[in-house]
Structure 1
Amino acid sequence: MLSLTYLSSSARPWDPADLESLLRRSRAANEAAGLTGALLYWDGNFVQTLEGPAPAVRQTFGRISVDPRHRGVFIVLREEVEVRAFEGWSMGFREVDGDTAAGLPGFTDYLRTGRRLGLGGDESNAEVFHRVFRDAVR
């Protein structure tokens, strides 16, 4: 199984409706391809980890790397893994106030807090990049 983490910047600002549309399409495509992972977006910058069967990860990243909505796409980590760091994670997005968000299943205020993603065990290499991204935007 392949785990690939990349960073990119958006070619234009993304509003909540843009992100919701992206996530709806991505969730369906990733599920069909057997991919899991995590996507963080903050102030025009993305960090995403894709994990799953190597051909599906390569194909998905290939589409992302030529997508004109991204610029400066570069891989920061590519490794063979035996265990998924983001098993069972699916992407979701909703713009809500903090109290409402805290009650949503799967919600994490990871970008605003110092807490880990809560995946258990030792921090994976992919989680390190997500933490560094989070710490840089806080």
Structure 2
Amino acid sequence: MRQLAKFIVALGAFTVILLAVRAFAFAIYSVPMDVAPTLHKGDRVVVNKVSHATFKRGDLMVFNQPGRLIGAVEAVPGDTITVDSATYRIPYRCCRRCTCRNCKLYLVNTGQSRVLVHLHQVEGKATRLYHLPW
């Protein structure tokens, strides 16, 4: 009986630790649609929720806008982009009113559209685990 109680306590502690790691550090997601040319529908990615600092062109990110989306970074702060024959520069800081040091915008390709993502919307940096062959 004593061993069963120890086992249940150990199992409970393991479950709590596992849920905490998944909620605050790492998570595994399935890609819902193609994000050309990097990811395909059904691929699995691991998301590092701790790493938000900086992204480079080609990095994968998971972000909330208004749902959870994944995309590849196309342009970073300081890059010049063209939208409908108009040229824009992505600012190094998103606005002058914001007091945070990491107030940045990124242009992200989600496979269906290109969106500007604020660093505060980023859930984490994604890395492809494997590709399903079908």
Q: TM-score with structure 2 length normalisation?
A: 0.23
Say which structure, 1 or 2, has more relative contact order (CA 8 Å, 6+ apart): 1
**Greater Rg by CA:** 2
Structure with bigger strand share is 2
What is the TM-score when the length of structure 1 is the normalising length?
Answer: 0.22
More helix by share: 1
